[in-house]
A and B are shown apart, each in its own frame.
Chain A
Amino acid sequence: MKRLNWRGAVSIAAFILLWTLLARLKAPGFAEIPDPAEVSRAFWSKYLPSAAYWRSWAVSFERVGYGFILSQLLGIPLGLLLGTRRLFHEIVFPVVELLRPIPPLAWVPLSILFWPTAELSIVFITFIGPFFIIVINVHDAVRGIRKEHLWLARSLGASPVRIFRRIILPSVVPAIAVGMTLGIAVAWNVVIAAEMIASDAGLGRLTWEGYVSHTGTTVIIGMISIGLAGYLSTLIVTYVEKRMMPWQR
């Protein structure tokens, strides 16, 4: 059993108390901000039973899911190619380095111009962030493989194909795990902002609509939902990562 961190519990209680006080006293800046009790009342009565609210969850999760999974499916092989193929690296890597510093949100206008539907452009933007992260992580990991690990395989008579499968791939798994952890966080960041700018659905949109309609409870429920959604996807990614690295158990 893990020991309960009572100090943590006390500080969370203090935070909620302070928030309640500031909201009730209408402290400067808190004019439109509801207190925690109002938020939870609104949540239980209006949002929990609302199909539209849960659709926002589904829409955002779907976008993050597509963008993230696509970024891994394309980014991991690209990183491996860049790390192992010298000629390919010389030709393609400069382009990667040229595009990589552009923040994903800077792609929004171009993406809307390019893709036929808003949905596609949001998935694309959600894809861009984790994509460059995983490419660079895998690329660096391939280049950082200890040469003794490769030499040993050669001395035991392994073919290039076997070296790739048994030595190079498992060597980059930890870097893939790091890239995925960073990538899923970036995917959520990006999808929320993109939804606020360019969508009529999703948790980002829900939060933004709360602001537009001066509904403080919606804004805060939106924020908490986004935090929770990010946390849940991190749990999934961490689970997958553990399965990828049985030797680290």
Chain B
Amino acid sequence: MAAVSVSGVSKRYAKDVLEDVSFELEAAALTVLMGPSGCGKTTLACMLAGYIAPDAGRLALEGRPITEAGPDRIMVFQETALWHWMTVLDNVMFGPRASGTMGPAQARKKALELLERFGLRDFKDRYPGQLSGGMRRRVELAQAMINNPKLMILDEPFRGLDVMTRELMQEYYLKIFAENRMTTLFITSELEEALVVGERVLVLDGTPARIAHSIEVDLPYPRTPEVLASERYLDIKKRLMAALYLPEQQTAQGET
């Protein structure tokens, strides 16, 4: 069943132009969205989160149209959006307090559980400015997950982290995803990252941009070095590269 459906969405926004974008996200699936920079990936993410309204078309989550921001969806932004004036614990327990789903004691307990799981319990009283980039990202994931959203939107979440931290964070997210299978849209501009995390890769391309390709990544998890050296992986990588870098007409002919 599709959890998210986007149909015929168009938007002129800043320098992004999206036209007639349609796709669906399977429930409990991890879908990657790629595309050249400035093609409107973030705009699309913001529309799914309900921050920006489309000029035309419709977006829906479990059949209900998306019209504004709400606690059933959450977005993790490119740049950290943690509130630097609140401690880690306050940042994480904000969600259930704000949405009114838990009392203060319960929210605190749930936040501490999540922090424990993310290996951040000892840092609960620190401020975000006192944490490393990777730790901040984990706090954001805990903050995002505490309300049990139905859709998780990650907009280039690990950009700016060093390679080691980045790989650890990818592994980390996959582990969490395997536990809760929260429907996820993972935006990235890194080909390797897309193939390490994704079950399917959507490619946004063209001016105005639309979904140009949808590529299944039918590789087993965990994506060990062996998996990432397999014939199958190389084949998918080749197709994805073609989708990303070759002029549209050529790939259109080559695929089918």
Q: A173-B85, A247-B127, A247-B129 are in contact. Are A151 and B75 (CB under 8 A)?
A: yes
Main secondary structure of the interface of A (DSSP, over half): helix
Q: Are B85 and A162 in contact (CB under 8 A)?
A: no
- Nearest to A244 among chain B residues (CB) is B85
Q: A155-B74, A156-B74 are in contact. Are A166 and B94 (CB under 8 A)?
A: yes
Residues of A within 8 A of B75 (CB): 151-152, 155
Q: Are B83 and A149 in contact (CB under 8 A)?
A: yes
Nearest-Cβ distance from residue A68 to partner chain B, whole angstroms: 25
A248 to B75, CA, bound (A): 27
A149 to B49, CA, bound (A): 14
A153 to B127, CA, bound (A): 17
B interface footprint on A37-62 (CB within 8 Å = 1, 0 otherwise): 00000000000000000000000000
Nearest-Cβ distance from residue B42 to partner chain A, whole angstroms: 11
Q: In the complex, which of the residues B51, B98, B127 has the most CB atoms of chain A within 10 Å of its own CB atom?
A: B98
Residues of B within 8 A of A151 (CB): 46, 49, 51, 69, 75, 77, 81
Q: Counting CB contacts under 8 A, is A148 at the interface?
A: yes
Q: Counting CB contacts under 8 A, is B147 at the interface?
A: yes
Classify chain A: how many residues form its interface, as a range: 20 to 34
Q: Are B85 and A155 in contact (CB under 8 A)?
A: no
**Tally of A-B residue pairs with Cβ under 8 A?**
70
Total count of chain B residues near the partner, CB < 8 A: 28
Q: A155-B75, A157-B71, A157-B147 are in contact. Are A247 and B94 (CB under 8 A)?
A: no
Q: Are B147 and A156 in contact (CB under 8 A)?
A: yes
- Nearest to A247 among chain B residues (CB) is B127
Q: A146-B81, A166-B94 are in contact. Are A155 and B49 (CB under 8 A)?
A: yes
Q: Counting CB contacts under 8 A, is B84 at the interface?
A: yes
Q: Are A170 and B49 in contact (CB under 8 A)?
A: no
B interface footprint on A137-176 (CB within 8 Å = 1, 0 otherwise): 0000000001111011111111100100011001101000
Q: Counting CB contacts under 8 A, is A92 at the interface?
A: no
Nearest-Cβ distance from residue B184 to partner chain A, whole angstroms: 15
Q: Counting CB contacts under 8 A, is B95 at the interface?
A: yes
Residues of A within 8 A of B62 (CB): none
Q: Are B83 and A170 in contact (CB under 8 A)?
A: yes
Q: Are A152 and B98 in contact (CB under 8 A)?
A: no
Q: Are B100 and A157 in contact (CB under 8 A)?
A: yes
Residues of B within 8 A of A21 (CB): none
Residues of B within 8 A of A31 (CB): none
Q: Are B98 and A153 in contact (CB under 8 A)?
A: yes
Residues of B within 8 A of A153 (CB): 94, 98
A245 to B129, CA, bound (A): 13
A155 to B76, CA, bound (A): 10
Q: Are A149 and B81 in contact (CB under 8 A)?
A: yes
Nearest-Cβ distance from residue B178 to partner chain A, whole angstroms: 24
Question: Which residues of A are in contact with B by a Cβ distance under 8 Å?
Answer: 146-149, 151-159, 162, 166-167, 170-171, 173, 245, 247-248
Q: List 26 A-B contacts (CB under 8 A).
A: A148-B77, A149-B83, A151-B51, A151-B81, A152-B77, A153-B98, A154-B68, A154-B69, A155-B49, A155-B71, A156-B74, A156-B98, A156-B99, A156-B143, A157-B95, A157-B99, A157-B100, A158-B98, A166-B83, A166-B86, A166-B94, A170-B83, A173-B85, A245-B85, A247-B127, A247-B129
Given contacts A154-B70, A156-B95, A157-B98, list 16 more A-B pairs with CB under 8 A. Answer: A146-B81, A149-B81, A149-B83, A151-B77, A151-B81, A152-B81, A152-B143, A156-B74, A156-B94, A156-B99, A162-B98, A166-B94, A170-B85, A170-B86, A245-B85, A247-B129
